Amino acid sequence: MRRNGWLVLVTWLAGVVPAEGQFRDASPPAAKPGQTVVQRWRVGMVITAEGGGFRGLVGSTTVPMDWPEQKVRVVAEDLSPGVSISYRNFEGTARQLVVRVPVLRANEEARAVLTFEVQRHLPLPPQQPETLRLPDPKKLDRKISAYLGPSPAIEADHPDVKRLAQQLTARHSTAWAKVRAIYDWVRKHVERQDNRGQEMKGTVQTLNEATGDCDEMTGVFVALCRSLGVPARMVRVPGHVFGEFYLVDAEGKGQWFPCEVAAGEAFGTIADPRPILQKGDNILAVDPVSRRKTRFRILPETLTGAAAVPGAQPKMRLICEPVQ
């Protein structure tokens, strides 16, 4: 599309993990449940004009935000002249850094990299898990009940998923034991396999093939929990995904419990201190191609703008790395 002599372009990096491929696993720093870990991470992008100049470039990438177990503050900004930044919040799920570059001439580079100090508390497992129970869906807050239904590629309402969840949990009496049975089954029966940047598989396909990456294995766990009436969601950290499930105590007070589905065993706790980038897997965002609101399992990183000549493409290098 041409506007006033400039070609409008869209680069859409759905589900990309900065500087790598889709959820390419990276080893987290050593930590233990119960610890509070303070780290610094550089997050942002470097845009290079290749093949010609550009104007009106707008890039977005997901950055850490505050959660009950995570506190975040910006301690440094590295911005090229003329580059401006803002934030776009997706209520209760994620926050994106929005980078605007008014003009980028051929072979020039625009940089927007922020250093975040992230304080992350790693919870211990509950002391009396047998007292926890399934929440009453009629009493759930809308923000929690949203994690009971299907979401993109997480087919919690599929008959095969419902049937399997019932089979796995029929002999267990407590909510904790039911969720643990699902967790153990997924870890045993779905072989972890790097999808090498391919499109994410849905729950049913992953079950049929019995293989999946960390996001696909976690998606199976989430779908099985939801089909049983347990709110569950995916949690994204740099280079990885784990799960969370929600149960309530005897007084009806609810809590999210993390679990590591695809890496070292951790149920009701987590030892991975990498900063949380996203919680949830059904995010409503504008598709930069259609310009319509669309549901996403993983919030995409995007770059839009106008190119001066046909064939020109900006190169966007996403950065998400710990400060050594």
State the pLDDT at residue 20.
Answer: 32
Beta-carbon neighbour count of residue 132 at 10 Å? Answer: 21
Question: Can you give the residue range of the structural domain that contains 149?
Answer: 129-270
Tell whether 279 is covered by a domain: no
The CATH number of residue 217's host domain is 3.10.620.30
pLDDT at site 27: 63
9 in the same domain as 53: yes
Are 191 and 241 part of one and the same domain? yes
48 lies in some domain = yes
Residues 160 and 266 in one domain: yes
Residue 111's pLDDT is 98
Q: Are residues 116 and 11 in the same domain?
A: yes
* 201 lies in some domain: yes
Cβ atoms of 24 and 194 within 8 Å: the answer is yes
155 touches 175 (CB < 8 A): no
- Kindly state whether residues 136 and 261 are assigned to the same domain: yes
**Residue 154 in domain:** yes
The secondary structure of residue 108, as a DSSP letter, is: -
d(CA 47, CA 111): 6
Question: Could you give the CA distance from residue 274 to residue 94 in angstroms, rounded to a whole number?
Answer: 15
**Residue 253: partners with Cβ closer than 8 Å, 6 or more residues away:** none
pLDDT tens, N- to C-terminus, the chain (324 residues): 333 334 445 554 443 333 333 344 456 767 899 999 999 999 999 999 988 899 999 999 999 999 999 999 999 999 999 999 999 999 889 999 999 999 999 999 999 999 999 999 999 999 999 999 999 999 999 999 999 999 999 999 999 999 999 999 999 999 999 999 999 999 999 999 987 667 889 999 999 999 999 999 999 999 999 999 999 999 999 999 999 999 999 999 999 999 999 999 999 999 999 999 999 999 999 887 788 999 999 999 999 988 888 878 889 999 999 998
Same domain, 86 and 193: no
Structure tokens at 211: 């293989």
- Total count of domains within the chain: 2
Please report the pLDDT score of residue 26 as a whole number.
55
Does 30 reside within a domain? yes
Residues 77 and 115 in one domain: yes
pLDDT of amino acid 10: 53
Question: Do 241 and 148 lie in a common domain?
Answer: yes
Euclidean distance between CA atoms 301 and 86, whole angstroms: 15
Angle (nearest 5°) at CA 25 between 23 and 26: 130
Residues 236 and 289 in one domain: no
Please check whether residues 136 and 218 belong to one and the same domain.
yes
138 and 66 co-located in one domain: no
Is 92 inside a domain boundary? Answer: yes
Q: Residue 86 falls within a domain, yes or no?
A: yes
Are 251 and 301 contained in the same domain? Answer: no
Nearest-angstrom CA–CA distance, 223 and 215: 12
Domain contains 280: no
From its phi and psi, is residue 67 left (phi > 0), alpha (psi between -120 and 50) or beta?
A: beta
pLDDT of residue 244: 98
Give the torsion through C-alpha atoms of 163, 164, 167, 170, to 10 deg: -80
Q: Are strands 211-212 and 191-192 parallel, antiparallel or unpaired?
A: parallel
